[in-house]
């Protein structure tokens, strides 16, 4: 997530704090100091309420980290790659690869709410101890607030609507019953669209009637609706690309040399590339070192173009997603989800042979879902030949052919 600062690691998983996270602490602190604590522990100074409200807000932030950390730990035990955990104004998010089985998805999804329920019970128990045994009303009030908030957090996350944890559990159940992951993802995503719309509308109505918390609920609903819609589109794309190999999706690459001047590159290779969004660049041995865009090249002032090398403008290869022609397209997209948001370059024996863009993915998915629009095999695939009687004789061993 852009705008995040890395704070440390949870069992080897990077923990990041988004710039909006302090807003969460501020809003929770103001609400806790203004109403909850004075009601549960009357008779204290405003400074004491504000001080313990900050403690309560930090306690809930730590609970959110624990909630997301539960997802990350169970995912790692299930051999699922986890990129990072981020806390932001609307809660937390754990970025990870897609589970390979319905069981692992269900376990990973359920881990967060279970952690929240356990923390809620511990906080409520600590509240009873602090208020009734130790006679510490303010710490007891903070713990009671934290306990009930964690329980509400768990209940909210268990709503059967993606991207909430309950939606992931629903997706795992549908996947287990029907055996189709993309179909299950579409079903849970549509539930998320409905739930998000309902939360956004309900929160807006509450806000218009004077309830400030309604604005927060409306923002959460919009977030759920947007993410759920993206997941439906992703599931539809994956379903349309299922079985296709990279060679059947890619477009041939036009490469340029990194040692060329920007001026020469623009008048030569860039014109040859036409409307291609990215142009891979190579070293003296023809191995890729990165990529450039025409916009980045044209951003170089005219007077400096003859003396500026393309390597000084190019983005490094580490920002690209690399794939082989014979890989399954869906496997590459799964891997790309945990990679930098760069172009997808197709390499064959350390040489660029193709590039895959969003337009290529959409076009290949449409053709694959409609057999009448499928193009003839490409990338070294020899066409079927006919015998004298007109029967088709298929050749074996052709690379890059979609089977099934």
Q: Which residues are catalytic?
A: 68
d(CA 288, CA 291): 8
| List of residues 6+ apart from 220 with CB closer than 8 A | 90, 91, 199, 203
Q: DSSP secondary structure string, 259-304?
A: TSBHHHHHHTHHHHHTT-S-EEEE-TTS-EEEEE-HHHHHTS-GGG
DSSP 8-state secondary structure symbol assigned to residue 345:
E
Q: Is 161 helix (H, G, I), strand (E, B) or coil?
A: coil
- Within 10 angstroms of residue 390's Cβ, the number of other Cβ atoms is 6
Both tokens assigned to 393 = 């004789």
- Within 10 angstroms of residue 270's Cβ, the number of other Cβ atoms is 21
Both tokens assigned to 122 = 């511990």
Q: Is 86 helix (H, G, I), strand (E, B) or coil?
A: strand
Q: Alpha helix (H) ranges present in 78-101? A: none
d(CA 188, CA 45): 48
d(CA 102, CA 73): 17
Q: Is 336 helix (H, G, I), strand (E, B) or coil?
A: helix
């Amino acid at each position: 997530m852009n705008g995040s600062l890395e704070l440390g690691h949870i069992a080897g998983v990077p923990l990041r704090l988004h710039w909006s996270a302090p807003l969460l602490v501020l809003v929770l602190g103001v609400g806790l100091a203004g109403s909850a604590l004075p009601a549960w522990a009357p008779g204290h100074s405003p400074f004491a309420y504000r001080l313990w409200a900050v403690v309560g807000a930090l306690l809930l932030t730590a609970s959110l980290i624990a909630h997301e950390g539960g997802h990350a730990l169970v995912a790692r035990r299930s051999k699922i790659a986890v990129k990072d955990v981020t806390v932001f104004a609307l809660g937390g998010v754990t970025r990870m690869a897609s589970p390979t089985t319905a069981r692992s998805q269900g376990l990973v999804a359920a881990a967060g709410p279970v952690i929240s329920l356990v923390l809620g019970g511990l906080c409520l128990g600590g509240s009873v101890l602090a208020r009734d045994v130790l006679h510490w009303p303010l710490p007891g009030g903070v713990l009671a607030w934290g306990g009930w908030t964690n329980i509400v957090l768990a209940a909210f996350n268990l709503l059967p609507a993606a991207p909430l944890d309950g939606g992931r559990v629903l997706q795992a159940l549908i996947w287990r019953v029907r055996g189709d992951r993309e179909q299950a993802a579409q079903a849970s995503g549509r539930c998320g669209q409905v739930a998000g719309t309902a939360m956004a509308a309900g929160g807006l109505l509450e806000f218009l009637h004077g309830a400030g918390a309604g604005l927060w609920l409306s923002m959460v609903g919009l977030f759920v609706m947007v993410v759920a819609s993206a997941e439906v589109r992703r599931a539809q794309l994956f379903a349309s690309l299922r079985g296709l190999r990279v060679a059947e999706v890619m477009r041939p690459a036009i490469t340029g040399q990194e040692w060329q001047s920007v001026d020469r590159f623009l008048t030569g290779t860039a014109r040859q590339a036409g409307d291609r969004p990215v142009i891979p660049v190579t070293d003296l041995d023809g191995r890729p070192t990165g990529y450039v865009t025409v916009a980045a090249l044209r951003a170089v002032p005219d007077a400096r173009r003859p003396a500026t090398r393309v390597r000084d403008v190019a983005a490094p290869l580490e920002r690209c997603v690399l794939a082989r022609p014979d890989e399954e397209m869906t496997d590459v997209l799964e891997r790309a989800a945990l990679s930098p948001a760069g172009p997808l370059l197709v390499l064959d024996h350390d040489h660029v042979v193709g590039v895959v863009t969003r337009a290529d993915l959409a076009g290949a998915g449409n053709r694959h879902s409609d057999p009448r629009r499928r193009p003839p095999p490409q990338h070294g695939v020899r066409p079927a030949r006919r015998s004298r009687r007109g029967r088709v004789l298929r050749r074996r061993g052709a690379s890059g052919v979609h089977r099934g």
